[in-house]
Amino acid sequence: MSRLPQIASGSASNEVQELFDSVQKKLGMVPNMMRAMANSPGVLEGYLQFSNSISRGSLTAKQRQQIALAVSQDNGCDYCLAAHSTIARSVGLTADQIRDSRHSLAVDGKTNALLQFVHKVVDQRGHVDDQDVDGLHELGFTDADIAETVAHVALSVLTNYFNIVAGTGVDFPMAPALDSELAETN
């Protein structure tokens, strides 16, 4: 049940309506999360600007979705799991890759190391070791890649916590339940 109302386009302020219009143009819809964020135009605008800025970095669309899936699974955010499972399919991730990403795993060693780093950042609230960062460097990740990874973790934590607190109604197909056998390995 929603704890924060989702602002309808017809009752939105001019400022919010402009933001909704840009989201509608880009996504073909205004997701419930953004309608709930619109209770504070600054929150919605800040989210959109941050998301847009870091999406232009060096990480691929697939990597960004894999990060979001790993963080959302760690935080237990059904809304974000549903949204990012849908988006992940649209950028070319398979059902197996989506499932693996939710477990912070990947078949590809470089992506696996990235997702393990992401899991550690979330689990240890950013308190990683020099070896964790050095390990990413050794695999070819640049300082920019690592900075963007942390930014994508932060963006996912923001949306996870926001949707959990707001009780945002899921307006994407629900993400499938995970295999309990794999869930126990992570």
Q: What are 114-149's pLDDT values in tens digits?
A: 999 999 999 999 999 999 999 999 999 999 999 999
For tokens 């049940």, name the residue.
Answer: 1
Residue 185's pLDDT band, with cuts at 50, 70 and 90, is very low
Residue 109 lies in a domain: yes
Q: Are residues 99 and 38 in the same domain?
A: no
Residues 180 and 113: their CA atoms lie apart, in Å, by 22
Q: Are residues 117 and 76 in the same domain?
A: yes
**Looking at the predicted structure, is the pLDDT value of residue 109 above 90?**
yes
Q: Are residues 22 and 104 in the same domain?
A: no
Residue 36 lies in a domain: yes
Tens-place pLDDT, residues 50-84: 999 999 999 999 999 999 999 999 999 999 999 99
**Looking at the predicted structure, is the pLDDT value of residue 18 above 50?**
yes
Q: Are residues 50 and 108 in the same domain?
A: no
Whole-number pLDDT of residue 1? 73
Residue 3 lies in a domain: no
Q: Are residues 116 and 160 in the same domain?
A: yes
Residue scoring higher pLDDT (185 or 21): 21
Q: Are residues 67 and 155 in the same domain?
A: yes
Q: Are residues 51 and 65 in the same domain?
A: no
**Looking at the predicted structure, is the pLDDT value of residue 183 above 80?**
no
Q: Are residues 32 and 111 in the same domain?
A: no
Mean of the per-residue pLDDT values of the chain: 95
Tens-place pLDDT, residues 40-53: 999 999 999 999 99
Number of domains in the chain: 2
Contacts of 94 (CB under 8 A, 6+ apart): none
Percent of the chain with pLDDT over 70: 96
What domain range is 42 assigned to?
9-55
Q: Cβ(32)–Cβ(6) under 8 Å? A: yes
Q: Are residues 106 and 40 in the same domain?
A: no
Residue 1 lies in a domain: no
H-helix or E-strand containing 75?
A: helix 61-75
